[in-house]
Amino acid sequence: MSAECILEARDLRHVYTDAGAPCAVLHGVDLSVRRGEFVIVMGPSGCGKSTLLHILGLMMRPTAGRLRIDGQDVQRLSAAQRTRLRRAVLGFVFQRFNLLPVLSARGNVELALRLRGARLDGPAAAALRDVGLEGAMGRKPRGLSVGEQQRVAIARAVAGRPRLLLADEPTGALDSANAAALLDLLRRLHGAHGLTTVMITHNEHLAGHADRVLHMIDGRLCDAPAADAPPDRLHTRRGE
C-alpha cells in the first residue's frame, strides 16, 4: 500500500446467508483511494454499494479479501480495535441522516466529538456554522427540514476532522436542488478540511463533483461505465 493511499481493498468478497441459502454480494472488489481524493461509487440499487461502504466503515467484516485503512490491516484487528480505528479515522454520512432524535443539532455534533475524546464547545459550534446552521443549534431533528438534518449529519461527520469520510447516498432523501447544494457543501468541506471522501450514490448527476467515479456492477467495481449509461456523465473529473 502506498503512503498516499488511505484506503486499499483487495479482492473483497462478501456472502450473506439468506434463509439458509448463501447470497454473494461482493465478488472481489479492488479499490485504492489516495489521501485527499473525492471518489464516488455509483451503481444501481442492490448492486452491493452499501455493503461495500459498511465493510469500508468497519461495521462489517468481509467474507474474504484484504482491507487496509490508514496503514492498518483491519482484518487482523479485534472488534474493539476496529471500533477505535473507526472512531479515530472515519466519519459517516448516512442516507437517512441517522441523527439521534433525543439530542439537539449541537448535541448530535457534540456526541460525536465526545466519542472521539475531542473538545466540545468550539468545534461543535464551528462545524454547525460551516454548514450554515448557526441559528438552529438548539433544535432537535424533528424541528429541522430534511436538508437541514442532512447538514447536521455532515457537521457531525466532519467536526472531529476524520481522515476518511464515507457517505452513503447522502442525497437520497433530497430533491435535486437540495442534493446539488449538499454536494457543493460536501465538496467545500472536503477541500477545506483536507478530507478523503468516498461517496456512494446512484444519482448520476452528482458524478461531476468527484475526482474519480467508479461503477459497481454485480458486486464488482470497474472504471468503465455500464454499457447503457450516458458516457458524458461518467468518469468525470471535477473541473475537466
Partner 1 sequence: MPLALANLLHRKLRSALSILAVAIGIAMLLVMLGLTHGTLDEVAARVQSVDAELVVLPQHENVIFTGGAAFSDRFRPLIESCTVDDRPAVRACLPVLFDTIRLGGQQQRLFGVDPADFPAFLGPRRLVSGRLFEEGARFAAWLDTLRNADGHYDPTAVSDNELESACELVIDQRLAAVGGYEVGHVETILGRRFRVAGIVESGVAGRVFCPIQTLQHIKNAGLPWASMFFVQLAAAPPGRDAGWADRCAAALAERTRARVELKTAYGDLLAESFSQIFAFIAIASALSIIVCFLFILLTLYTGVVERTREIGILRALGADGGFLLRCAVSEAVLLCGAGTAVGIGLAFASKGLIEHLRPLLTVRIDATFLLLAAVIGVAGGAASALLPAWRAARLDPSAALSFD
The amino acid at residue 18 is D
The stretch near partner 1 (CB under 8 A) out of 68-76, 112-120, 169-177, 222-230 is 112-120
Residue 39 CA to residue 49 CA, distance in Å, equals 13
Residue of 46, 71, 75, 115 that binds partner 1 (CB under 8 A): 115
Residue of 9, 112, 206, 217 that binds partner 1 (CB under 8 A): 112
Residue of 5, 39, 86, 174 that binds partner 1 (CB under 8 A): 86
Residue 13 CA to residue 147 CA, distance in Å, equals 35
Q: CB of 197 within 8 A of CB of 124?
A: no
Residue 134 CA to residue 109 CA, distance in Å, equals 13
Interaction between residue 116 and partner 1 (CB under 8 A): yes
Residue 210 CA to residue 82 CA, distance in Å, equals 28
Residue of 57, 65, 123, 225 that binds partner 1 (CB under 8 A): 57
Interaction between residue 103 and partner 1 (CB under 8 A): yes
Which residue's CB is nearer to partner 1, number 66 or number 114?
Answer: 114
Site of grid cell 472504471: 223
Residue 225 CA to residue 203 CA, distance in Å, equals 14
Interaction between residue 151 and partner 1 (CB under 8 A): no
Binding site for partner 1 (CB under 8 A): 54, 57, 59-60, 80, 83-84, 86-88, 90, 92, 94, 98-103, 107, 110-112, 115-116, 156
